Amino acid sequence: MAFVPFDDRDGWIWFNGDFVPWRDAKTHVLTHALHYGSSVFEGERMYGGEIFKLTQHSERLKRSAELLDFELPYSVAEIDEACKATAAKMGYEDCYLRPVAFLGPEKTSVSALENKVHVAIAAWEWPSYFDPEVKAKGIRLEWAKWRRPDPATAPTTAKAAGLYMICTMSKNAAERRGYADAMMLDWRGYVAEATGANVFFVQDGVIHTPNVEAILDGITRKTVIELAQAKGIEVIVRHIRPEELSTFSECFLTGSAAEVTPVSEIGEYRFKPAAISLGLMEDYSKLVNGQLK
C-alpha cells in the first residue's frame, strides 16, 4: 500500500464541535502548542464498531489537560459521543482514533491565559503497530539514550505531546539500527517503558512490571493486569533494575496501539515468547473483539 501523507487524505475530522473536510483541519503556524508543547492526546482503537475503554480514554484526556493547566471545553460524555460520531462519519467498524486538545494561536508567548483550547478527533485504519509476522516471535528493542523525567520536573502522568519528543528520538535511533523500538529507563535508572508502550516481564510464572511514578499508567496495562489476575497469575508492581532482565524468561509490551506484543530482545538480554505472553496476547484480542467476558 502506498504511503499517503496524513495531511492529504479523504474524509472528515471532528474539529471544535463540527466536522470539517480532512484536508481543511488546520491551525496556524503560530499555534501555542507548536511552540510550547501545550497539547494532550489519546490513542484509542475501535473493534467491531465499539471503541475499547472509550470513557476511560476521554477521562484521561481531561486529566491530562488539567495537568497542563487548561480545561477542555467539552465534557467527557461529549468527547465520547464525538469519538463515536467520527468513526461513523468515516464509515469505520475497526480503526484507530486520535483525540487531541491544544492551545491555539491567540497569543504566542510562554503565558497562555488568553489562548483558546481547541479539540480535534481523527480516525484512520491502522491494523497493527508492529509487524504482525514478527509480533508473535517477539520484537527486538535496544536501550534508549534518553530517560523518562523526574515527576518533579514534568507532568509525567499526563499523556502530553511534549513528553513524547524523547520517545520519537529514541524510536528513530532504534529503527535506524534495525530494532523495532527502544526501552527507556526512568531518571533513577530503573526500567520504565518502551517509547509508546508499557512493559511486563515473567519470572517463574509471576509477572513483574514497573510502577508508574514516572510513566503513563496505560489503560491497556491495567486491562492486561486484570486479565492476568483473572487467570490466577500473580502480578508484582515494583522497581526493576536493568541487570534483573537476565532473570526473566518472557517479556511483552502493552498499549492501545501495540495491544499485547511479545519481546525477544532488549539490548544484551534475550527472552522467548511463551505461555504467559502469548496467552495474554490471545486473551486481549478476544476481549477487545467481544469474545471474552
DSSP 165-214: HHHHHHHHHHHHTT-SEEEEEETTS-EEEESSSEEEEEETTEEEE--SSS
The length of the chain in residues reads 293
Amino acid at 109: S
Residues 6+ apart with CB under 8 A from 74: 17, 82, 119
The Cα 119–Cα 27 span in angstroms is: 11
Indicate which residue of 159, 171, 231, 286 is catalytic. 159
Does the structure show a pLDDT above 90 at 147? yes
Average pLDDT estimate for 203-217: 94
Q: Could you give the 3-state DSSP secondary structure of residue 151?
A: coil
How far is it, in rounded angstroms, from Cα 65 to Cα 117? 10
- The total of other beta-carbon atoms located within 10 Å of residue 13's CB is 22
Please report the domains of the chain, with CATH numbers, ordered by start residue. 12-124 (3.30.470.10), 132-288 (3.20.10.10)
Question: Is 26 annotated in the active site?
Answer: no
Could you tell me if 87 and 95 are in contact, meaning their C-beta atoms sit under 8 angstroms apart?
Answer: yes
> What are the backbone angles phi and psi of residue 253, rounded to the nearest 5°?
-105, 155
pLDDT of 128 reads: 73
Q: What is the mean pLDDT of the chain?
A: 96
Contact 95, 125 (CB under 8 A): yes
What is d(CA 174, CA 181) in angstroms, rounded to the nearest whole number?
A: 6
Q: What is the pLDDT of residues 223-272, one digit of tens each?
A: 999 999 999 999 999 999 999 999 999 999 999 999 999 999 999 999 99
* Cβ 37 vs Cβ 161: under 8 Å: yes
Element at 235 (helix H, strand E): strand 235-237
**pLDDT reported for residue 107:** 93
Residue 133, number of CB atoms within 10 A of its CB: 8
User: From CA 291, how far away is CA 186, in angstroms rounded?
Assistant: 37
pLDDT at 157 over 60: yes
Average pLDDT, integer, range 135-150: 95
For residue 106 the three cell numbers come to 491567540
Q: Left if phi > 0, otherwise alpha if psi is -120 to 50, otherwise beta: which for 72? A: beta
Q: Can you give the pLDDT at residue 136? A: 80
pLDDT of amino acid 293: 67
Name the phi and psi angles at 145, rounded to 5: -70, -35
> What digits encode the pLDDT tens for the residues 5-31?
999 999 999 999 999 999 999 999 999
What does the pLDDT average to over 135-148? 94
